């Protein structure tokens, strides 16, 4: 669906989930365009599940953290997105930037689990069913 050097976004039919695979650091327009592409796919598919593989993502710039919290997440939560599995970045600093973003999302708005292993993340996500 979206394929650039820094990010691939695709639909996983068997999981019923949007899958975001980061390949390298991105900021500004590249970062935001990628997240927005994933959100468009959520809307197209009526998806309730999101898998974010952030192992190779790099640190999220402060301006992009703010944009994620103030702009992207409110739009994402309005779509019916219910479950997010996050495969954590290898970098401790990058992981802290992701935690900063996710702390702002708020409890109960999104069921989120963190994983070190992609297979475990997929298994958990596959077990989740949307509350209709």
pTM for the model stands at 0.89
What is the Cα gyration radius of the chain? 13
Rounded Cα distance between 110 and 43, Å, is: 16
Give CA 71 to chain center in angstroms.
14
Q: How much is the pLDDT for 130? A: 52
**Contact between residue 12 and residue 40 where contact means Cβ atoms under 8 Å apart:** no
**16 pLDDT higher than 70:** yes
CA dihedral (7, 39, 44, 82) positive or negative: positive
Average pLDDT, the chain: 91
Per residue in 23-55, pLDDT (tens digit) is: 999 999 999 999 999 999 999 999 999 999 999
């Amino acid at each position: 669906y979206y394929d650039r050097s820094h990010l691939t976004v695709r639909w996983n039919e068997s999981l019923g989930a949007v899958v975001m695979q980061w390949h390298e650091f991105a900021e500004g327009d590249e970062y935001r365009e990628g997240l927005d592409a994933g959100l468009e796919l959520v809307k197209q598919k009526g998806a309730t599940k999101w898998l974010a593989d952030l192992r190779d993502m790099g640190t999220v710039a402060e301006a992009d953290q703010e944009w994620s919290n103030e702009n992207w997440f409110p739009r994402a939560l309005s779509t019916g997105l219910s479950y997010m599995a996050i495969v954590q970045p290898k970098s401790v600093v990058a992981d802290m930037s992701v935690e900063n973003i996710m702390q702002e999302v708020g409890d109960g708005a999104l069921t989120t689990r963190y994983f070190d292993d992609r297979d475990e993340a997929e298994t958990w996500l596959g077990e989740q069913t949307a509350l209709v």
